[in-house]
Structure 1
């Protein structure tokens, strides 16, 4: 008996797996929307199954769940409309005076340090005109190139936003028909373990989604109330947007904080109350909110349920963000949780000798 030696079929399966992984990596741009749509369908499948058990046609149930997800995304985007519509004219009207006021406050200390600074507003204007005259063409070309590249990326995102729900719809309506043949491809001795893994993954994903939803709702109420207490006029839309956008780790919180700072500075400066009150208010509300989310809400409502250590959470966010950008941040935690379940099952199989053949 020699457990180290492997049969030729195992080497063949390993070679086929390596070739398959290479082909998937080579065609990653094509595979990506199918993979994301499969994840979306997997997340929505319990809701679709629940509606189907209540005699709702499966196609209609799948369409309703997808529309609900798209509506949630639209709500988050629409929350930006009142914020931008009020901040844009205020910024256009107050920005020159704000810049002049800040320059008048910063110029004397910089001059005392021996740094060359303009001594008058006329000199500031002259230097700006000189910069525009000498570098305007270069900056314009760079801006145009950025807009072209950004526009191309935007069109790609729009295309994915239309393609992924359509693919998810077909995954959902044919899930029960496609999965049994795929399960038949699994070797018989592994089938029970695979079924157990999928049941555990289903339970874990449900717990993650429920926990994340509670975190978003609690933080939306907290940020709205906190900004209201400090007198922010846009407290409700900014607070709700920040709370709902925390599903995008770091980016949602950062964007909400920037909007709060901008809204507070413009509002309180126009009222002649200075900069300190809005800055202190944002620091207190968002600092306490980050502590609340990081040390209580997410560990209690999400982390403990999916079994991820904080170090694993940080590593997953960094890796998926590097691989897939914004989309990676969105799917990092659920994918990491599923990977944790898979590794646990593989480790148990390894300890039980499932990866070795005996002669």
Structure 2
């Protein structure tokens, strides 16, 4: 009994030490978020783009030129998509506003002359309260303009840092990693090297599979919106594409924006059709795309993914939702690496093969 209590006490102390370390790491990460988030984005993008760089390098294109070409091409594609989306949203905002006003008038008439038979003074009072609420928030919005400008400046600085780091990750990532590994003690250096390369390999598969899922979601919902006749189908499709980078939930949330646009512009029937389309695409993603594309790479239960995304949203908002699954993947690879050292189900041959694949990927 004494030995058991002693083991429990040691386990409790170890758990407290781990919790303390996790808390310290969290506070440090929060303090350095303006630096760590751009670097984390650069790592994910490097994991996505390294196959293209390696493909060019194998065809005798210099590594520096390969990294520059891939980076510039990716920026051109992403910048063009964002510019087109913003332009379409701005140009279609007038039509959406007119449709929204018509919907408000139609709703008011239905509330007064419909089955509810509300009195006009009641409706007018509700409208006045709504207008007062909007007017009251105007001052707060204007007062936050300075903070918004500061946030935009910080975001631009983060973008520059992320692009700068991304280029060097693509161009010289293997040497940077080797230099980083030299910091750790020699007794665990080989283990850290293999684990880090396996993590990068897992992130590469995750980002490529997520990109494929996002493309399929966007094409399916975009085609459906065009057939139903929802205005601004292309910018809404772009929103679905960007939202799909958050597994399971992102495309559905972006699809709800299309449902609102359909409700305002086309009425309840169009909104129900778009809702049915969004649910159908979500089922396609959950039952077919995620198991076949992401399932083979991520190997995480959907409930685990949803809980991770929800936890990320609570802790860090949109940024947390974006990095939730990569963080879980990284933790799993590290844990399995330690498991393998104690005789878990992974064989040494499979570990070596995956480490070699990751080394060739980075190099």
Contact 1:223 1:243 in 2 (8 A): no
Quick one: which of 303, 316, 326 aligns to 1:324? 316
Q: Does 1:96 align with 2:108?
A: no
Quick one: which of 71, 78, 87 aligns to 2:83? 78
Structure 1 segment 243-254 matched on structure 2, within 5 A: 243-249=241-247, 250-254=249-253
Structure 1 segment 5-24 matched on structure 2, within 5 A: 21=25, 24=28
Q: So what's the TM-score if we normalise by structure 1?
A: 0.75
Instruction: Tell me how far 1:323 sits from its aligned partner.
Output: 3.6
Contact 1:223 1:286 in 2 (8 A): yes
Matched with 2:271 is 279
Contact 1:62 1:169 in 2 (8 A): yes
Instruction: Tell me how far 1:285 sits from its aligned partner.
Output: 0.6
Q: Does 1:41 align with 2:33?
A: no
Contact 2:244 2:250 in 1 (8 A): yes
Q: Does 1:307 align with 2:295?
A: no
Instruction: Tell me how far 1:42 sits from its aligned partner.
Output: 4.5
Which is richer in helix? 2
Instruction: Tell me how far 1:252 sits from its aligned partner.
Output: 4.7
CA distance, structure 2, for counterparts of residue 26 and residue 263 of structure 1: 39
Matched with 1:262 is 261
| Structure 2 stretches lacking a partner, 5+ long | 1-6, 11-17, 345-363
Q: Does 1:297 align with 2:289?
A: yes
Quick one: which of 29, 33, 39 aligns to 1:29? 33
Go from structure 1 to structure 2 and tell me whether the alpha carbon gap of 1:310 and 1:131 turns closer, same or farther (over 3 Å shift).
closer
Contact 2:44 2:203 in 1 (8 A): no
User: Higher Cα Rg: structure 1 or 2?
Assistant: 1
Per-residue CA deviation, residues 63-95 of structure 1 (Å, 9 max, x unaligned), is 222223333432442342464245322133333
Go from structure 1 to structure 2 and tell me whether the alpha carbon gap of 1:220 and 1:83 turns closer, same or farther (over 3 Å shift).
same
Q: So what's the TM-score if we normalise by structure 2?
A: 0.74
CA distance, structure 2, for counterparts of residue 22 and residue 140 of structure 1: 35
CA distance, structure 2, for counterparts of residue 167 and residue 50 of structure 1: 21
Matched with 2:3 is none
| Structure 1 stretches lacking a partner, 5+ long | 7-13, 269-274, 353-359
Per-residue CA deviation, residues 29-88 of structure 1 (Å, 9 max, x unaligned), is 354133443443344344333323333232222222222333343244234246424532
Contact 1:307 1:337 in 2 (8 A): no
Instruction: Tell me how far 1:205 sits from its aligned partner.
Output: 2.8
Q: Does 1:140 align with 2:138?
A: yes
Matched with 1:356 is none
Q: Does 1:349 align with 2:338?
A: no
Instruction: Tell me how far 1:101 sits from its aligned partner.
Output: 0.9
Aligned residue pair count: 329
SS of corresponding position for 1:327: helix
